[in-house]
Chains A and B, each alone.
Chain A
Amino acid sequence: QKEVEQNSGPLSVPEGAIASLNCTYSDRGSQSFFWYRQYSGKSPELIMSIYSNGDKEDGRFTAQLNKASQYVSLLIRDSQPSDSATYLCAVNPWQAGTALIFGKGTTLSVSS
């Protein structure tokens, strides 16, 4: 069973703070990992991908991957009210395929 686990939240942070979102996955053979953001009433959109152990930074977002611990995280620096959304961690566990297994998501609320 391919599973991705996330804390559902809600995670509440004040504007300007760092938001930390975490995720674990069950399939040790997974090679690629993604973070999607979903605003209420909208479809998910890709914000970050990570393939190697370590950190990957893109603007205010940093994704971290530790394959030995089967752990992925997303840090959002200088959080803004517009970052308030549900963040979905996703894993591609397939040898061949583009589809993803998603966690249930963590709801982030940034207060001004």
Chain B
Amino acid sequence: KAGVTQTPRYLIKTRGQQVTLSCSPISGHRSVSWYQQTPGQGLQFLFEYFSETQRNKGNFPGRFSGRQFSNSRSEMNVSTLELGDSALYLCASSLVPGELFFGEGSRLTVL
């Protein structure tokens, strides 16, 4: 059974640009959640999608957005990038609440 797939794995952007990250969940998992991981703040919850609807949202500015498609694949977008957005962005899918399966992450560097 394939795991959670995230693309791209690495990307470099400059301030003011926008970025879109993609996540394909484990087959059959309808819930996808996104997290930002930085050395200083740890793993912070961004948002969760279930059946194409945002179910819960973390405390991030509106520049961070996401969506989920009918096949459960999800994308997140960050607009007007800031230096502080440099981080590892992790996507997780789940079938059982709290039992998350993480992808390998997308490492974003903002210059």
Contact = CB atoms under 8 A, between A and B. Distances in A.
Interface of A: 1, 32, 34, 36, 43-46, 49, 88, 90, 92, 94, 96-105
A46 B42 contact: no
Contacts, number: 70
B105 A43 contact: yes
Nearest to B41: A104
Interface of B: 31, 33, 35, 41-45, 47-48, 50, 55-56, 59, 90, 92, 94, 96-100, 102-105
> Closest 8 CB pairs between A and B?
A104-B42, A43-B102, A99-B33, A99-B48, A102-B43, A98-B94, A98-B97, A98-B31
B48 to A, nearest CB: 4
Given A43-B102, A44-B102, A96 B42 contact: no
Max count, chain B CB within 10 A of own CB: residue among A32, A34, A43, A45: A43
